[in-house]
């Protein structure tokens, strides 16, 4: 089953909804970063939400999410775009704790206290930035708070990641439901009731709900208008060219010492862990 995302509206467009199955992309991130269970859950939830926030963008716009907490994970960095590409990493991937008192992966403990920052690159040097304190450390609640505070959009955000005992990813997915301006009181009540009565996202994901079924489970008898379906994937932007350009930016002296001392250079992409080798000859070429 491939990862994909659906966009939908309800109540004559006054409610906007997104749902995604992100199992493969979170699985790929886990493999590339070798994250342990609690780190995988934190990164996976963030990637899942970033995927949906990417889908809210247009054209070439991109979004970067940074969760900087005091916990052992250090920071979680993800980015995404409107085409369903997403990537991300955690500073410390080998973080795992016993499950918390409700039997869930203790993401809060791994994240700690700190901030959630969002940067949207909207092209033509137009940026949107927002930063909020982490209110929970469980990720979904922090994004809910972000939407309410920074974007003034009342939202319900849910993301769930299930991890196998061997640390591999069993399943992942999530949803975002947002109230548009003009949503009347009775709609707000209906949405709140729906959100309150739905099982945890991880349960829906475990039971194999498709993104459409997730929204149908949420809104039961309400009419959902599915607008669009799009594939989503873990996709890094790194390339040998980018690495070479970065090395070029270090300046002549630095490049000379790479040649003389190391006879080449090696760089690892934080996002996907791809290792790039730049030969002595390629470095010499840069000096010309």
Least distance in Å: CB of 88 to Zn ion?
A: 11
Least distance in Å: CB of 274 to Zn ion?
A: 5
Nearer to Zn ion, 240 or 263 (CB): 240
Least distance in Å: CB of 32 to Zn ion?
A: 9
Nearer to Zn ion, 222 or 274 (CB): 274
Nearer to Zn ion, 43 or 191 (CB): 43
Pairing of strands 85-90, 155-163: unpaired
Nearer to Zn ion, 50 or 202 (CB): 50
Nearer to Zn ion, 94 or 237 (CB): 237
Least distance in Å: CB of 238 to Zn ion?
A: 3
CA dist., res. 114 & res. 42, Å (int):
14
Edge-to-edge strands of the sheet including 15-21? 155-163, 169-179, 15-21, 4-10, 225-231
Least distance in Å: CB of 99 to Zn ion?
A: 32
Nearer to Zn ion, 85 or 121 (CB): 85
Least distance in Å: CB of 236 to Zn ion?
A: 3
Residues that bind Zn ion (CB under 5 A): 236, 238, 269, 271-272, 274
């Amino acid at each position: 089953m491939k990862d994909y995302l659906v966009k939908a509206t309800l109540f004559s467009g006054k409610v906007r909804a997104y749902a995604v199955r992100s199992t493969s992309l979170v699985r790929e991130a886990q493999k590339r970063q070798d994250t342990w269970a609690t780190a995988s859950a934190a990164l996976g939830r963030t990637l899942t939400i970033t995927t949906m926030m990417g889908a809210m963008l247009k054209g070439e716009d991109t979004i970067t999410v940074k969760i900087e907490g005091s916990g052992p994970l250090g920071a979680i960095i993800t980015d995404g775009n409107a085409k369903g590409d997403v990537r991300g990493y955690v500073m410390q991937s080998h973080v795992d704790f016993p499950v918390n008192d409700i039997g869930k992966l203790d993401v809060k403990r791994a994240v700690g206290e700190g901030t959630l920052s969002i940067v949207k690159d909207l092209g033509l040097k137009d940026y949107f930035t927002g930063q909020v304190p982490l209110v929970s450390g469980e990720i979904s609640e922090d994004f809910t708070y972000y939407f309410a505070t920074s974007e003034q959009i009342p939202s319900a955000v849910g993301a769930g990641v299930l991890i196998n005992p061997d640390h591999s990813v069993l399943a992942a997915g999530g949803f975002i439901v947002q109230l548009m301006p003009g949503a009347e009181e009775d709609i707000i009540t209906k949405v709140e009731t729906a959100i309150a009565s739905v099982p945890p996202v991880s349960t829906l994901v475990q039971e194999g709900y498709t993104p459409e079924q997730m929204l149908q489970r949420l809104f039961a008898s309400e009419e959902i208008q599915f607008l669009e379906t799009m594939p989503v994937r873990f996709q890094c932007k790194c390339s040998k060219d980018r690495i070479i350009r970065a090395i070029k930016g270090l300046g002549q002296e630095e490049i000379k010492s790479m040649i003389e001392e190391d006879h080449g250079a090696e760089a690892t992409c934080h996002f996907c862990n791809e290792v790039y080798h730049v030969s002595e000859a390629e470095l010499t070429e840069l000096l010309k």
